[in-house]
Amino acid sequence: MASSRAEQTRAAWLAVLDKYKLDPDRPSAAAMWSPRLDGASRDEIVAIQNAKLAVLAPFLYENSAFYRRRFDRLGLAPSDISGLDDLPQWPVVDKLEMMEDAQAHPPYGTYSTMSDAVWAERGWMMFASSGSTGVPRVFRYSQIDRELWAWANARAMVAMGIGKGDTVFMITGFGPHVWAWGVQFALAKMGVPAIPGGGMDAKARAGIVLRFRPSVLLATPSYALRLGRVLEEQGHDPARLGVRTLFLGGEPAMGIAHTRARIQDLWGARTVEFYGCTEAAPHVGGFSCAASQGESGRVTTHLLEDVQVWEVIDPETRQKLPDGARGLTVCTSLNSESSPQLRFLVGDYTVLDRTPCACGRSHVRAMGAFAGRADDLINLRGIKMFPVQIEEAVRALPGIGDEFEIVIATDASELDVMTVRIEHADHAAPEALRAALADELRARCEVRVGVEVLAPGTLPKTEFKAKRVRDLRAKP
């Protein structure tokens, strides 16, 4: 009977996913893939979310041992979570819970709804979280997920202005990380050609740009800077090579004004970005549109509400916050056969706004994009800061190289200290620069930070995602 109930709830879940997958194969308008969804009214969005949530909770209970145990421990029945108003009853799920489950139930854990039988019948690909803390969480996705990813990502990429006539150079290692794989299948659905850029060094990738002149580069922000500098070293101006869009992901960029400006100025192109996470938003969670960089200078990022429920919570109490308040992102996934998580703590700071966008889309936006994942928080002698705050200070001063490093250590007096290592042409006489950056860091982070000025080319070059922080403190 248990197996039959699992199959029945899976069939019901797949049916509701299919019902609300409008315009599944092609866009119905030039500016929006699905105007019926992308421009839906608030009442229509809420109705879709409620319809999916009513089917999701029974599906999770019958197909994930992790969720069954959690429902039982909390004294809740699946019918208790049947709509948006019921979500606050369900405490957020965090990465620590998933890590403990993965360790207790190797190799896959029990937090997903992928069974061995489904994997054998229609498995697609296995991915692992690429976050900065803890044991990687492994996720197996199905062929149904692959198609859902392609559809959702295509909707977002139409909003970005990517389409027919573009060629996308995908500068990624194509490892077990979700972003580029999902984009590749979306490009195939859209009929947009791609050039795979895995397995190459920066010089080889520069050669691809020079020879084939792609109009879109997909890369992490740090690698977009790295590749542009390599082209400059070869005597080329990246801004004159035909790249019109820099499709960024994997690291904060849009929300860091000086980094965004540095990348756009280098390439003479606009930046757009994807936001998400392996656990609950493996396809697009957040995305840029034509109006994302407003005249005020503040950027915004759209979130797809018919396929996810987005909230922000207080980092201390973990209670839901109203729109307009700054908090940590929480995502309920409503678009997956294999990992439809219920209130997963993604953990990036932002502010939500549900007023319609100038682009015509009606879904919630993250104001100021995303600037700092709670996992990355640095605690130095009780003062808390994010690496992005330090990056803002570094980028604010002219002439500093693209690479920098944050080193945290314990000195001889057992005091935790931080040093920011940068590169600059004036490394032989660095006193003024060192003082200026120290003042900038103190103003932004409210703590004294050491500054080390190095010769250009001293620090390791970024090859995919930048690793900015080296914490050398003795672990307790």
As a whole number, the mean pLDDT across the chain is: 90
Which of 330, 348, 374 finishes a domain? 374
CATH number of the domain to which 434 belongs: 3.30.300.30
**217: its two tokens:** 């580069």
Judgement on whether residues 187 and 238 belong to the same structural domain of the protein: yes
pLDDT by residue (tens digit) across 85-99? 999 999 999 888 998
Which of 350, 374, 398 finishes a domain? 374
Judgement on whether residues 350 and 218 belong to the same structural domain of the protein: yes
- pTM score, two decimals? 0.83
Which of 327, 355, 374 finishes a domain? 374
Q: What angle do CA 13, 157, 247 make, to 5 degrees?
A: 125
**421: its two tokens:** 């290592």
Judgement on whether residues 386 and 279 belong to the same structural domain of the protein: no
148, part of any domain: yes
pLDDT at 1 over 50: no
pLDDT at 473 over 90: no
pLDDT by residue (tens digit) across 229-272? 999 999 999 999 999 999 998 777 788 788 899 999 999 999 99
Residues of the chain with pLDDT > 70: what percent?
Answer: 94
The mean per-residue pLDDT over the stretch 315-321 comes to 93
Judgement on whether residues 210 and 326 belong to the same structural domain of the protein: yes
pLDDT by residue (tens digit) across 114-143? 999 999 999 999 998 754 445 678 999 999
476, part of any domain: no
Can you give the residue range of the structural domain that contains 48?
A: 1-374
Judgement on whether residues 337 and 414 belong to the same structural domain of the protein: no
Judgement on whether residues 243 and 391 belong to the same structural domain of the protein: no
The whole-number pLDDT of residue 132 equals 46
211, part of any domain: yes
- Give the confidence band of 410 by pLDDT, cuts at 50, 70, 90: confident
The whole-number pLDDT of residue 282 equals 87
The mean per-residue pLDDT over the stretch 298-319 comes to 94
Judgement on whether residues 257 and 402 belong to the same structural domain of the protein: no
Number of domains in the chain: 2
Gap between the Cα atoms of 385 and 379, Å rounded: 7
CATH number of the domain to which 186 belongs: 3.40.50.12780
Q: Please, which residues have CB within 8 angstroms of residue 238's CB and are 6 or more apart in sequence?
A: 209, 227, 228, 231, 232, 266, 267, 268
Q: Facing residues of 350 across strands?
A: 327
Judgement on whether residues 37 and 64 belong to the same structural domain of the protein: yes
Judgement on whether residues 407 and 360 belong to the same structural domain of the protein: no
C-beta of residue 442 within 8 angstroms of C-beta of residue 432: no
Judgement on whether residues 225 and 324 belong to the same structural domain of the protein: yes
Judgement on whether residues 170 and 253 belong to the same structural domain of the protein: yes
Q: What angle do CA 73, 118, 148 make, to 5 degrees?
A: 90
The whole-number pLDDT of residue 131 equals 47
Judgement on whether residues 347 and 402 belong to the same structural domain of the protein: no
45, part of any domain: yes
pLDDT by residue (tens digit) across 264-278? 999 999 999 998 888
